[in-house]
Structures are given as C-alpha cells and as structure tokens.
Amino acid sequence: MKYYLILALLMFVSSIVSAQNQFGILPVINTTIKLPNDWKINSKLEGRQLLKQHPFPVDKNDQVFERLDLEVVTNKALNSSNDVGLGYLIRRQEGKFLHRFIQQYAYTQKLYSSRLSHRFRTDQSFQEDEAVQFRLRYRASWEKPLSGLQVDPKEFYLKLNNEYFGILQASKTNMEIRGLAVVGYTIGENNRIETGADYRMEEIFTQLRHKLFLNIGFYHNF
C-alpha cells in the first residue's frame, strides 16, 4: 500500500512538472511588529525563483527570478478570534511594478487539538497598461501540532492551506485555486520556519496552468 501511495505521489508531481507549467522555489520572510491595543503590522517579503518551465520559454531561459513582492498589512485583533486588516503590496516583475490594495477579515477557531483560520480577502491590483484587477479570496488554514494538543516552542507542526480566488479584470472572470502543505517548527517564542509544497491552478477558465513551488518560510515576531 505504501509503495502505491509513493508511486501515485511521484506520478502526480511528474504530471505537474511536465504539463503546462512551472516549478520553482518560493522563499518568504514574514515579520510582525506588535503594537498597543491589539494592533500589529505584518510585512512579508516573497520571491519566486523558477527552476523549470513547460513549454520551454522562447528566450530559452527557464531558470529566472520571476518576481519579488513586498506586502504590508496593518491588522487589528477585534478579539481572540476575529481580525481585520488593510494592506498594500508592491511587486516587481519583468521590469514593471504592480500595486495592490488589500482588505481582509479572518476568523480563527481553536479546535480540540488544532487551529483553523478562515481568511476572506478582497484586493485591487493596478499595473501600467493593464486594466484594474479585482479579486475575491477565501483561504482556510489548518494547523495541527505533531506533539500534544497545541503548538509550543521547539515543536513541529503541520499546516494545510486551501485557497480559492474569484478574479475580475476587463469584464472577464477567472478562477484560481491554491493548496499548501508544509511542516513547521517553532524555534522559540518568536521565530518559526516552514517548508513544504505550494501547488497552484491558475487561469482555470481560460488557459489552465499548474504551478508547483517549494515553499520556504521564516516568521519572526518583534
């Protein structure tokens, strides 16, 4: 049974890498600064390094540093479960800048031995020579400690994300789905690292693309 599962996984990975598609690394540095009265500022620096693309790019360079994002979200915890935030993202890609405004609401549930967060986001993206893009996003994030009932310092945990996007641009709609599975480790009270697979299905209604990234994340709380 174990061998069949491994074979199925390898076939899945192989089909994604060899189809219409991209494979790469997604490094993330995420920092949070706590402020009085349950306010916090979260900033995220995220890069995207492509290692393999199919079909092979016209410029014959399939290993490129594709983009760099800087996102800053100001968040207010309304109570232990409900958070609201406003943010801004700037992206550098192919010599151009993209500006995105973000609004989010998150609801976090403490379950018996895990935590589940529901995040609802809207964003508006502006780029030169492009129509404004509007997106509606929902993400469920589930955190499960690999020892005990809660994630404590110096412990491993599992995190699964599933996110759905509705996209509207120039009167055309599209959809995107993301799935993430990472193993995390809390280094101390203020640091954690995560690594795992980040899979994305983009432009589902037009030209479906599969993307698979090795996600490497570092989180720090100031």
Partner 1 sequence: MMKQINFVKITSSLQLLGLTLLLAPKLTFAQQKIEREYAIKATQVPDPALEFVNQTFDKKRIKWYAEESQKGRSIEAKVKQDGTVYSIEFDEKGNLQDIETLISLNSLPQDLQKAIMKTLEADFTRIKIHKMQRQWTGNAATLQQLASKKKPEEDYTTRYEIVIRGSKDRSTSDYEVLVDDYGKLISKSKIIQKDSPHLLF
Binding site for partner 1 (CB under 8 A): 29-34, 40-45, 70-73, 75, 78-81, 83, 85, 88, 90, 97, 99, 104, 106, 108, 115, 117, 119, 128, 141, 143, 147-155, 159, 184, 189, 192, 194, 217, 219, 221-222
Q: Which is nearer to partner 1, 13 or 29 (CB)?
A: 29
Tokens of 114: 């895990």
- Return the ∠ at Cα 143 (arms to 141 and 147), rounded to 5°: 170
- Shortest Å, Cβ 169 to partner 1: 20
CB of residue 49 vs partner 1: minimum separation in angstroms?
A: 19
* Displacement of CA 219 from its chain's centroid (Å): 13
| Alpha-carbon dihedral 109, 110, 116, 121, rounded to 10 degrees | 40
From the CB of 79, what's the least distance to partner 1, in Å?
A: 4
Nearer to partner 1, 83 or 176 (CB): 83
Identity of residue 144 = K
Pick from 26, 5, 13: nearest CA to 210: 13
Judge contact between 125 and 103, C-beta under 8 A.
no
* Residue (53 or 75) nearer to partner 1, CB: 75
